[in-house]
Structure 1
């Protein structure tokens, strides 16, 4: 489990495509690799990946076709910045919200509106996810825990503070860029339970 509080901005070293539409991703991240071991979980732009190898401050992870199909990881290239977060330890501080690292869909940046000390960013929202996104609710965008400002049927906005703009990829995204979206898992479980109750 993750919290959506990005620990560092890492850098893609390599993305090697496999024969069966899978890939091997190598990422540099001095903070998240400190004390890391094979088998540990690290979220890369909100996608939970398992560490398969370590070399200094670079870790590798295998990325399956399902993950490439459901996320924006396949669009990464050497030099791409990525948001990195280690799994939260039992008893650790839950600074953001419950984030599983299981991406629900991909949206795109629609617009950016600078403010005095913040920036309002609008993202597209896949239709299948719109029922889980509510005003003042939580959503993870590229692994960053954010509060929804406005929720429309096909889009939503968030307000980004200077720290988020500086220390995550969201400060660098431009209109048209893809982002990974993970909606609040609690909303999905509640919906499922209510469906079974009505059946």
Structure 2
């Protein structure tokens, strides 16, 4: 479980496709690896990955085909920057919202609209996820916990403050680039409990 508060920008140092349906990812992240052990969870652009090993500030993780298909990890290259967050510890502050690291889909940046002190960023919204996204609700974009400013049938917008722009990969994302989306898990549980009924 994560909070969507990015701890550091990491760098992809190796992405090796071991078969047609899996890959090994090596990521440099001195902060998140300072106490990382085999089996620990680290969020990479919002995808929960399991640490295989940790050597000199670089951790490796296996990535299965399901993850490559449902996320933008397969589009990364050596040198790509990524958002990194260690799993939340019980008793720590929950600065964002409950984030599982289970990506629901891939969206794309549509537009960036600068304002004096912040920026509105608009994203595409996959049709199958639209019902889970609400104005003023929480959403995770590339592992960053954000508040939805506006939403319609096929887009949503967030307000990005300078801190988010400087400290996460979202600051450099341009129109057309992919981002990982995780909707609020509470909405999915409510839907399940209601049996898919429209209320």
Query: TM tier, shorter chain?
Result: over 0.9
Partner of 1:190, secondary structure, is helix
RMSD, aligned CA: 1.1
Task: Please identify which structure carries the higher helix content.
Answer: 1
Q: Residues of 2 paired with 1:19 and 1:181: CA distance? A: 26
Partner of 2:92: 92
Mapped pair 1:109 → 2:76: no
Partner of 1:123: 123
Partner of 1:34, secondary structure, is coil
Q: Residues of 2 paired with 1:34 and 1:11: CA distance? A: 15
Partner of 1:161: 161
TM-score by length of 1: 0.98
Q: Per-residue displacement from partner, 1:58-79 (whole Å, max 9, x unpaired)?
A: 0000000000000000000110
Runs of 4+ in structure 1 deviating by more than 4 angstroms, as ranges, are: none
Deviation at 1:20, TM superposition (A): 3.5
Q: Residues of 1 paired with 2:169 and 2:86: CA distance? A: 17
Partner of 1:74: 74
Residue 135 to residue 59, structure 1, CA distance change in 2 (3 Å) = same
Deviation at 1:115, TM superposition (A): 0.4
Residue 53 to residue 135, structure 1, CA distance change in 2 (3 Å) = same
Q: When the two structures are aligned, how many residues end up with a matched partner? A: 198
Mapped pair 1:138 → 2:141: no
Partner of 1:33: 33
Q: Which consecutive unaligned segments of at least 5 residues does structure 2 have?
A: none
Q: Residues of 2 paired with 1:164 and 1:197: CA distance? A: 37
Q: Residues of 2 paired with 1:187 and 1:196: CA distance? A: 11
Q: Residues of 2 paired with 1:38 and 1:109: CA distance? A: 34
Q: Residues of 1 paired with 2:28 and 2:196: CA distance? A: 45
Residue 113 to residue 88, structure 1, CA distance change in 2 (3 Å) = same
Deviation at 1:92, TM superposition (A): 1.4
Deviation at 1:196, TM superposition (A): 7.3
Q: Residues of 1 paired with 2:107 and 2:70: CA distance? A: 11
Q: Residues of 2 paired with 1:152 and 1:15: CA distance? A: 36
